[in-house]
Structure 1
Amino acid sequence: MTSIGPVGSNISSLHAQVLKRADTALSKEPDNGFSDRIGDALKSVADTQKNAAELTKAYEMGTENDLTKVMVNQQVSSLGFQMTLNVRNKVLSAYKDIMNMPV
Protein backbone atom coordinates (compact mmCIF):
# COMPACT_ATOMS: atom_id res chain seq x y z
CA MET A 1 0.00 0.00 0.00
CA THR A 2 1.44 3.33 -1.00
CA SER A 3 1.14 6.13 1.46
CA ILE A 4 0.40 9.72 0.57
CA GLY A 5 2.03 11.81 3.23
CA PRO A 6 1.31 11.55 6.95
CA VAL A 7 -2.37 10.70 6.43
CA GLY A 8 -1.50 7.65 4.33
CA SER A 9 1.01 6.38 6.86
CA ASN A 10 -1.57 6.87 9.63
CA ILE A 11 -4.15 4.89 7.67
CA SER A 12 -1.70 2.09 6.95
CA SER A 13 -0.75 1.84 10.63
CA LEU A 14 -4.45 1.73 11.59
CA HIS A 15 -4.99 -0.95 8.96
CA ALA A 16 -2.17 -3.01 10.47
CA GLN A 17 -3.68 -2.63 13.95
CA VAL A 18 -7.10 -3.77 12.73
CA LEU A 19 -5.58 -6.83 11.05
CA LYS A 20 -3.64 -7.68 14.20
CA ARG A 21 -6.77 -7.41 16.36
CA ALA A 22 -8.74 -9.55 13.92
CA ASP A 23 -6.05 -12.24 13.97
CA THR A 24 -6.02 -12.17 17.78
CA ALA A 25 -9.81 -12.41 17.98
CA LEU A 26 -9.96 -15.28 15.50
CA SER A 27 -7.20 -17.24 17.19
CA LYS A 28 -8.93 -17.26 20.59
CA GLU A 29 -10.61 -20.44 21.71
CA PRO A 30 -14.38 -20.39 21.34
CA ASP A 31 -16.34 -19.51 24.43
CA ASN A 32 -18.77 -21.89 26.10
CA GLY A 33 -21.86 -20.49 24.45
CA PHE A 34 -24.94 -18.41 24.73
CA SER A 35 -25.43 -18.74 28.48
CA ASP A 36 -21.91 -17.45 29.17
CA ARG A 37 -22.49 -14.45 26.93
CA ILE A 38 -25.78 -13.66 28.64
CA GLY A 39 -24.12 -14.03 32.04
CA ASP A 40 -21.30 -11.68 31.03
CA ALA A 41 -23.81 -9.15 29.71
CA LEU A 42 -25.79 -9.25 32.96
CA LYS A 43 -22.59 -8.80 34.98
CA SER A 44 -21.67 -5.83 32.80
CA VAL A 45 -25.07 -4.20 33.37
CA ALA A 46 -24.80 -4.84 37.10
CA ASP A 47 -21.31 -3.30 37.20
CA THR A 48 -22.57 -0.25 35.29
CA GLN A 49 -25.44 0.20 37.74
CA LYS A 50 -23.08 -0.16 40.70
CA ASN A 51 -20.69 2.40 39.21
CA ALA A 52 -23.54 4.86 38.59
CA ALA A 53 -24.79 4.42 42.16
CA GLU A 54 -21.30 5.01 43.57
CA LEU A 55 -20.84 8.16 41.47
CA THR A 56 -24.25 9.45 42.55
CA LYS A 57 -23.38 8.85 46.19
CA ALA A 58 -20.00 10.54 45.73
CA TYR A 59 -21.73 13.57 44.17
CA GLU A 60 -24.22 13.77 47.02
CA MET A 61 -21.38 13.56 49.55
CA GLY A 62 -19.48 16.31 47.74
CA THR A 63 -16.43 14.28 46.66
CA GLU A 64 -17.45 14.28 42.98
CA ASN A 65 -17.90 17.69 41.36
CA ASP A 66 -18.66 16.71 37.77
CA LEU A 67 -22.44 16.56 37.47
CA THR A 68 -22.21 15.74 33.76
CA LYS A 69 -20.21 12.60 34.49
CA VAL A 70 -22.78 11.50 37.07
CA MET A 71 -25.72 12.11 34.73
CA VAL A 72 -24.08 10.33 31.78
CA ASN A 73 -23.27 7.30 33.94
CA GLN A 74 -26.87 7.21 35.17
CA GLN A 75 -28.15 7.32 31.60
CA VAL A 76 -25.78 4.54 30.51
CA SER A 77 -26.96 2.47 33.44
CA SER A 78 -30.59 3.13 32.58
CA LEU A 79 -30.08 2.22 28.93
CA GLY A 80 -28.30 -0.99 29.87
CA PHE A 81 -31.18 -1.99 32.14
CA GLN A 82 -33.77 -1.16 29.49
CA MET A 83 -31.87 -3.17 26.90
CA THR A 84 -31.65 -6.14 29.27
CA LEU A 85 -35.37 -5.90 29.96
CA ASN A 86 -36.18 -5.77 26.23
CA VAL A 87 -33.96 -8.78 25.50
CA ARG A 88 -35.67 -10.70 28.30
CA ASN A 89 -39.09 -9.82 26.91
CA LYS A 90 -38.08 -10.94 23.40
CA VAL A 91 -36.70 -14.24 24.70
CA LEU A 92 -39.89 -14.90 26.68
CA SER A 93 -42.01 -14.06 23.64
CA ALA A 94 -39.99 -16.43 21.47
CA TYR A 95 -40.30 -19.15 24.11
CA LYS A 96 -44.08 -18.71 24.25
CA ASP A 97 -44.29 -18.83 20.45
CA ILE A 98 -42.29 -22.05 20.36
CA MET A 99 -44.37 -23.62 23.12
CA ASN A 100 -47.62 -22.74 21.28
CA MET A 101 -46.51 -24.36 18.02
CA PRO A 102 -48.45 -27.44 17.05
CA VAL A 103 -46.41 -30.61 16.93
Structure 2
Amino acid sequence: MTSINSSIGKIDSFHDKILEKATEAFGQSSQNVDFSDRMQNALTDVADAQKQAADSMKAFDLGIETDLSKVMVDQQVSSLGFQLTLNVRNKMLSAYKDILNMPV
Protein backbone atom coordinates (compact mmCIF):
# COMPACT_ATOMS: atom_id res chain seq x y z
CA MET A 1 0.00 0.00 0.00
CA THR A 2 2.85 2.38 0.78
CA SER A 3 4.42 1.70 -2.60
CA ILE A 4 1.15 2.72 -4.27
CA ASN A 5 1.03 5.93 -2.23
CA SER A 6 4.65 6.73 -3.05
CA SER A 7 3.96 6.08 -6.74
CA ILE A 8 0.96 8.40 -6.61
CA GLY A 9 3.12 11.03 -4.92
CA LYS A 10 5.74 10.72 -7.66
CA ILE A 11 3.08 11.01 -10.36
CA ASP A 12 1.68 14.11 -8.66
CA SER A 13 5.12 15.72 -8.55
CA PHE A 14 5.67 14.91 -12.24
CA HIS A 15 2.25 16.38 -13.03
CA ASP A 16 3.14 19.58 -11.16
CA LYS A 17 6.46 19.86 -13.01
CA ILE A 18 4.79 19.33 -16.38
CA LEU A 19 2.12 21.90 -15.54
CA GLU A 20 4.84 24.39 -14.54
CA LYS A 21 6.70 23.88 -17.82
CA ALA A 22 3.52 24.20 -19.85
CA THR A 23 2.59 27.39 -18.01
CA GLU A 24 6.03 28.84 -18.71
CA ALA A 25 5.84 27.83 -22.37
CA PHE A 26 2.42 29.32 -22.99
CA GLY A 27 2.85 32.32 -20.71
CA GLN A 28 -0.36 31.86 -18.73
CA SER A 29 -2.03 29.37 -16.48
CA SER A 30 -4.40 27.09 -18.34
CA GLN A 31 -6.65 26.99 -15.28
CA ASN A 32 -7.46 30.71 -15.48
CA VAL A 33 -8.53 30.76 -19.13
CA ASP A 34 -12.23 30.56 -19.84
CA PHE A 35 -13.52 28.24 -22.58
CA SER A 36 -15.22 31.13 -24.36
CA ASP A 37 -11.92 33.06 -24.37
CA ARG A 38 -10.13 30.09 -25.93
CA MET A 39 -12.83 29.76 -28.58
CA GLN A 40 -12.69 33.49 -29.31
CA ASN A 41 -8.90 33.36 -29.67
CA ALA A 42 -9.12 30.33 -31.95
CA LEU A 43 -11.73 31.99 -34.16
CA THR A 44 -9.61 35.14 -34.32
CA ASP A 45 -6.57 33.08 -35.35
CA VAL A 46 -8.58 31.38 -38.12
CA ALA A 47 -9.90 34.72 -39.34
CA ASP A 48 -6.36 36.14 -39.37
CA ALA A 49 -5.09 33.13 -41.35
CA GLN A 50 -7.89 33.59 -43.90
CA LYS A 51 -7.09 37.29 -44.21
CA GLN A 52 -3.39 36.56 -44.66
CA ALA A 53 -4.18 33.96 -47.34
CA ALA A 54 -6.43 36.41 -49.18
CA ASP A 55 -3.81 39.16 -48.95
CA SER A 56 -1.01 36.92 -50.21
CA MET A 57 -3.17 35.69 -53.11
CA LYS A 58 -4.06 39.26 -54.02
CA ALA A 59 -0.38 40.27 -53.85
CA PHE A 60 0.53 37.33 -56.11
CA ASP A 61 -2.20 38.27 -58.59
CA LEU A 62 -0.90 41.84 -58.70
CA GLY A 63 2.68 40.68 -59.17
CA ILE A 64 3.89 41.98 -55.80
CA GLU A 65 4.51 38.52 -54.37
CA THR A 66 6.52 36.15 -56.57
CA ASP A 67 6.77 33.15 -54.25
CA LEU A 68 3.94 30.82 -55.26
CA SER A 69 4.82 28.28 -52.57
CA LYS A 70 4.24 30.90 -49.84
CA VAL A 71 0.84 31.70 -51.31
CA MET A 72 -0.09 28.01 -51.48
CA VAL A 73 1.06 27.39 -47.89
CA ASP A 74 -1.03 30.35 -46.70
CA GLN A 75 -4.03 28.92 -48.56
CA GLN A 76 -3.56 25.47 -47.00
CA VAL A 77 -3.15 26.90 -43.48
CA SER A 78 -6.35 28.87 -43.98
CA SER A 79 -8.20 25.84 -45.32
CA LEU A 80 -7.06 23.57 -42.47
CA GLY A 81 -8.01 26.18 -39.89
CA PHE A 82 -11.47 26.50 -41.38
CA GLN A 83 -11.94 22.71 -41.51
CA LEU A 84 -10.84 22.40 -37.89
CA THR A 85 -13.27 25.14 -36.85
CA LEU A 86 -16.09 23.45 -38.73
CA ASN A 87 -15.33 20.07 -37.14
CA VAL A 88 -15.21 21.59 -33.65
CA ARG A 89 -18.56 23.26 -34.27
CA ASN A 90 -20.08 19.99 -35.47
CA LYS A 91 -18.75 18.10 -32.43
CA MET A 92 -20.11 20.77 -30.08
CA LEU A 93 -23.54 20.61 -31.73
CA SER A 94 -23.51 16.83 -31.54
CA ALA A 95 -22.62 16.93 -27.84
CA TYR A 96 -25.35 19.52 -27.22
CA LYS A 97 -27.93 17.33 -28.97
CA ASP A 98 -26.80 14.29 -26.97
CA ILE A 99 -27.19 16.20 -23.72
CA LEU A 100 -30.55 17.56 -24.84
CA ASN A 101 -31.84 14.05 -25.58
CA MET A 102 -30.70 12.56 -22.26
CA PRO A 103 -33.53 11.32 -20.08
CA VAL A 104 -33.97 13.21 -16.84
Provide the TM-score with structure 1 as the length reference.
Answer: 0.74
Measure how far apart 1:25 and its partner are: 4.6
Q: 2 CA distance for matches of 1:56 and 1:38?
A: 27
SS at match of 1:64: coil
Task: Quote the offset at 1:28 in angstroms.
Answer: 3.5
Runs of 4+ in 1 over 6 A off after TM superposition: none
Relative to structure 1, the CA distance from residue 100 to residue 78 in structure 2 (aligned partners, 3 Å threshold; closer, same or farther) is same
| 1:79 and 2:80 matched | yes
Amino acid corresponding to residue 24 of structure 2 in structure 1: T
Matched residues in 2 for 1:84 and 1:27: separation? 24
Q: % of aligned pairs identical? A: 61
What residue number does 1:60 align with?
61
> How much has 1:32 moved relative to structure 2?
3.5
> Is there any run of 5+ residues in structure 1 with no aligned partner, and where?
1-18
TM-score by length of 2: 0.73
Residues 13-52 of structure 1 aligned to structure 2 (within 5 Å) = 22=21, 24-25=24-25, 28-29=28-29, 30-52=31-53
Structure 2 alignment gaps of length 5 or more: 1-17
CA deviations on 1:12-68 (whole Å, 9 max, x unpaired) are: xxxxxxx9x826258845434100000000000000000000000000000000000
Q: How far apart, in 2, do the equivalents of 1:52 and 1:73 lie?
A: 5
**SS of the residue aligned with 1:102?**
coil
**Matched residues, number:** 84
